[in-house]
């Protein structure tokens, strides 16, 4: 396995590698739940459902919801705003957070417009993070001393910039 990036920091060598066995960020404690349409040959979220089942949750539950779009063409990308390619992209489902969970997590009594906007940003971030995971943008690092001996390592960083930042902090 070749390093994706190598750099020097504080007299140490940092080697960044692609994480070949990452854990899905959807296994973490997320605010949102990603529902995706049944029938896809890809796992595009937390739970596969029919359009009618998704609509029932979106319409009948007290939720903050955003659409989720997927672009599948020699890889997978996801977002909450859509893609310009009409052939290889489209709405794959939704991400939502229930009002009760939002109020509990933020220790709030009401779902204000400001809190709703904050939740929407978090949901967008969860989709972006999952998209990076699906796209193979998960990394680990090894820090070596001046003698080439490994002194630290850590894996599972979604996004190259986070792996580099954590490796520098480990020096």
Q: Give CA–CA dist 135/109, Å, rounded.
A: 38
Query: Does position 67 have pLDDT exceeding 90, yes or no?
Result: yes
Q: Which residues pair with 91 in a beta bridge?
A: 69
> Using the 8-state DSSP alphabet, how is residue 52 labeled?
H
pLDDT for 92 equals 96
**pLDDT tens by residue, 118-151:** 999 999 999 999 999 999 999 999 999 999 999 9
Sketch out the chain's domains with CATH numbers.
Answer: 5-22+138-170 (3.30.160), 25-134 (no CATH)
C-beta of residue 18 within 8 angstroms of C-beta of residue 132: no
Dihedral angle sign, alpha carbons of residues 53, 56, 59, 60: negative
C-beta of residue 12 within 8 angstroms of C-beta of residue 151: yes
**pLDDT tens by residue, 22-57:** 999 999 999 999 999 998 889 999 999 999 999 999
pLDDT for 84 equals 93
| Structural element, H or E, at residue 121 | helix 113-134
């Amino acid at each position: 396995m070749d390093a994706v990036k190598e750099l020097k920091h504080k007299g140490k060598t940092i080697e960044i590698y692609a994480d070949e066995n990452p854990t899905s960020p959807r296994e973490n404690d997320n605010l949102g739940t990603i529902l995706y349409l049944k029938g896809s040959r890809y796992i595009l979220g937390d739970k596969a459902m029919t359009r009618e089942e998704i609509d029932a949750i979106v319409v009948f539950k007290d939720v903050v919801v955003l659409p989720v779009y997927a672009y599948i063409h020699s890889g997978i990308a996801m977002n909450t705003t859509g893609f310009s390619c009409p052939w290889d992209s489209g709405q794959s489902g939704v991400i939502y957070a229930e009002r009760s969970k939002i109020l509990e997590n933020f220790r709030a009594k009401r779902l204000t417009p400001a809190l709703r906007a904050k939740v929407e940003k978090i949901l967008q971030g969860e989709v972006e993070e999952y998209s990076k995971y699906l796209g193979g943008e998960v990394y680990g690092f090894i820090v070596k001393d001046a003698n080439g001996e490994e002194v630290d390592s850590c894996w599972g960083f979604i996004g190259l910039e986070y792996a580099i930042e954590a490796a520098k902090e480990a020096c």
